[in-house]
Structure 1
Amino acid sequence: MFLPGMTYASVRSQITDIRSTSTQQQGRQATSIKLIIGILIIVDETDAAAQARYNEYLDKYSDDEDFQFSDHGGIRSLISSWSETIPGSEGIRWTKSRVARELALGGPHPKAVGSGATVADVLEAWVRETGVDGFNVSYAVSPGDFGNVVRFLVPEMKRRGVFWDNVGAEGCTMRENYSGDGGGGRLRDDHHGSRYAWGATK
């Protein structure tokens, strides 16, 4: 299940509610539903290099119109919570064009900008603070950003022992590889969809 949210509190609240509902009302195991959030990753050899790359991406857009978010409480609240997830944004005037520029890179998702170690810290913090199962990694430039993830982030995550490196066991279904719970290749009995199985052996 893909979740929206740009702050720990927002995502944690959704995860708590989903897992509580699935266990108390549907009798499912708390971890049977995998919960994923989107995140933009800009990673490079150092924090400074990653920040320079991020700024370079943003410099392709111009701030040609000012717009103060001061009269509408909902917009002000959104910008306030969102800006907390964006590195290096202290003191920035959140003009209309500035918001459009930020949305252009990764959409309304958290952002992780820095070295492999810095980005790994960010990802681990999201898991620790919210209980999220994983990330849907977005990009600003393809294939360059993905190449940098492989080059700078994956080795750091392997070093920490938090990278899932043995996905795709031979003879297993995609469901088995993804869930990793030993529940077999078909929907588990506690899955809502299992009641619609017809003419199939378990």
Structure 2
Amino acid sequence: MAKRILLSAFDMTCVGHQSTGTWRHPASRAWNYNTIEYWTDMAKELERGCFDCLFIADVVGVYDVYRGTAAAAVRDAAQVPVNDPFGAISAMAAVTSNVGFGITAAITYEPPYLLARRLSTLDHLTKGRIAWNVVSSYLNSAALNVGMDKQISHDDRYDIADEYMEVIYKLWEGSWEDSAVHRNKDTGVFTDPAKVHPIRHQGKHFKVPGFHLCEPSPQRTPFIFQAGASGRGKQFAAGNAEGMFVLTTSVEQAKKVTSDIRDLAEKQGRSRDSIKIFTLLTVITGATDEAAERKYQEYLSYSSSEGMLALYGGWTGIDFSQYDPEQPLEAMDNDSLRTTLESLTHGQSHKWTVQDVIKDRTIGGLGPVLVGGPEKVADELERWVDEGGIDGFNLAYAITPGTTTDFIDYVVPELRRRGRAQSSYKPGTFREKLLGTPNGRVEKTHPAAQYQGAYAGLESVADNTTSSNFSDYEQTRVAAE
């Protein structure tokens, strides 16, 4: 039986996401990004195409590396202005029933106690359709504007992320027992305080003595996405991710990346299929190959090279204005997105230049562009899945909603004809739909599972006294286990 191809739409609460300048195209609605109708219309369109999810990227800084200023990014609306990605989720959930919502939220600037509540709230309101894309934020401008002297180093951010996940899993999985909530009007008991437990976490980076503010949501732990494919990022993903967003520029590169990730997951006691891997791709399609090519050339005529170089400056930490347009690019070790330059310099038949970035990335941004009619596109998608080990695609747009609508109208029917795309949704939560796990809970091999019931029988809200001594409490918990 042919493997189903997972489909995710890739967007951001901004004007210019991956293709800069195309907001000027007459058919683009990107400049309506700050209206609720933009998002509800998109959600309904994705559900019409039986997409698995909408994946919403985010940054909390600006792209100010290119020419040492944010001017190019501001002028071209290259991921600025940018709104909070949480705002439109409830409205989109209200007009749909099945499509999932992947939300990017950085662990670097928000305490786990607060973020746990925000994500649980949305998991409740969407009836279990929430996924969290765990990122550590890569823009130095973001660090400066939240009061830090500079961005935390790349690997240190992942060390913080490890403990962050430990805290948030304790809150989601261990704080409230499954039978804690009674909702009993006769007895007057809404929640049994004996079944709600403080987590008493005290670590190197976080101190969280209390219990989770939310009752358990449909998934408890939202589906976990992760978007870093550096060596350290892959280690983090192998332990935590259920879905992974990677940047690959060829089927051959995809095969190596997916194999590495699955090998690492297996070493951590998880199955090779426990992580669904998505690669970024922009598909320009039409009724025929020729029609698709004409459309692509039209979109290129609206693109902005300055805007794209501003984005690449932020993604790589390199000011491309200092390079000769024909000078080969070299990967370097810094605290930005390490995989971005690696995708341009490693495993390629030639070294990319600044001119190549302008020519081949002003449409598509971080990922490759596939141009063709339904059969050509479907052939290539199948090749990425069958030969590259990819599970699905994070589909960026050239113009919105036109690029997505074209994919739904032209490519999805062809994929369905080949048995590669779903024509209806499975029941259940987002995790049940993608992984098939029972009751929408994390798999038993996932690190969050170790906290399920971990605090049962220990200190609870019902106790007359509560311990303020972390070490004593932890010793009691470990002894009970």
Report if aligned partners of 2:279, 2:390 keep a CA contact under 8 Å in 1: yes
Cα distance in structure 2, aligned partners of 1:177 and 1:200: 29
Q: Cα 1:42–1:80, aligned 2, differ >3 Å: closer, same or farther? A: farther
Summarize the alignment of residues 13-32 of structure 1 with structure 2, pairs less than 5 Å apart: 13-23=256-266, 25-32=267-274
1:75-115 Cα shifts (integer Å, max 9, x gaps): 8x93796799xxxxxxxxx8745523532312121221100
- Show structure 1 runs of 5+ residues with no match: 85-93
Q: Which residue number in structure 2 is paired with residue 87 of structure 1? A: none
Report if aligned partners of 2:305, 2:362 keep a CA contact under 8 Å in 1: no
1:78 aligns with 2:320: no
Of the three residues 241, 252, 255, the one matched with 1:12 is 255
1:18-46 Cα shifts (integer Å, max 9, x gaps): 111211x2221110111111110101000
Q: Cα 1:155–1:200, aligned 2, differ >3 Å: closer, same or farther? A: farther
TM-score (normalised: structure 1): 0.79
- How many Å apart are 1:166 and its aligned residue? 2.7
Q: Which residue number in structure 2 is paired with residue 130 of structure 1? A: 388
Report if aligned partners of 1:61, 1:101 keep a CA contact under 8 Å in 2: no
Summarize the alignment of residues 1-202 of structure 1 with structure 2, pairs less than 5 Å apart: 1-23=244-266, 25-61=267-303, 67-70=325-328, 78=344, 96=354, 99-169=357-427, 172-180=428-436, 182-198=437-453
Cα distance in structure 2, aligned partners of 1:178 and 1:200: 29
- Show structure 2 runs of 5+ residues with no match: 1-243, 307-320, 332-340, 457-481
SS in 1 for 2:285: strand
- How many Å apart are 1:184 and its aligned residue? 3.6
Cα distance in structure 2, aligned partners of 1:21 and 1:168: 29
Q: Cα 1:30–1:147, aligned 2, differ >3 Å: closer, same or farther? A: same
Q: Cα 1:177–1:96, aligned 2, differ >3 Å: closer, same or farther? A: same
- How many Å apart are 1:17 and its aligned residue? 1.3
Report if aligned partners of 1:173, 1:185 keep a CA contact under 8 Å in 2: yes
Greater RCO (CA < 8 Å, at least 6 residues apart):
1
Cα distance in structure 2, aligned partners of 1:67 and 1:162: 41
Cα distance in structure 1, aligned partners of 2:408 and 2:349: 27
Q: Which residue number in structure 2 is paired with residue 88 of structure 1? A: none
Report if aligned partners of 1:6, 1:81 keep a CA contact under 8 Å in 2: no
What do you get for the CA RMSD once the two structures are aligned?
3.0
Cα distance in structure 2, aligned partners of 1:113 and 1:83: 21
Between the two proteins, the alignment pairs up a number of residues equal to 186
1:158-193 Cα shifts (integer Å, max 9, x gaps): 111110223241xx122101213x544111111111
What amino acid maps onto 1:161 in structure 2? G
SS in 2 for 1:35: strand
Cα distance in structure 1, aligned partners of 2:404 and 2:274: 29
- How many Å apart are 1:116 and its aligned residue? 0.7
Percent identity over paired residues: 34
Cα distance in structure 1, aligned partners of 2:439 and 2:272: 18
Q: Cα 1:173–1:80, aligned 2, differ >3 Å: closer, same or farther? A: closer
SS in 2 for 1:167: coil
Q: Cα 1:95–1:167, aligned 2, differ >3 Å: closer, same or farther? A: same
Report if aligned partners of 2:285, 2:374 keep a CA contact under 8 Å in 1: yes
TM-score (normalised: structure 2): 0.35
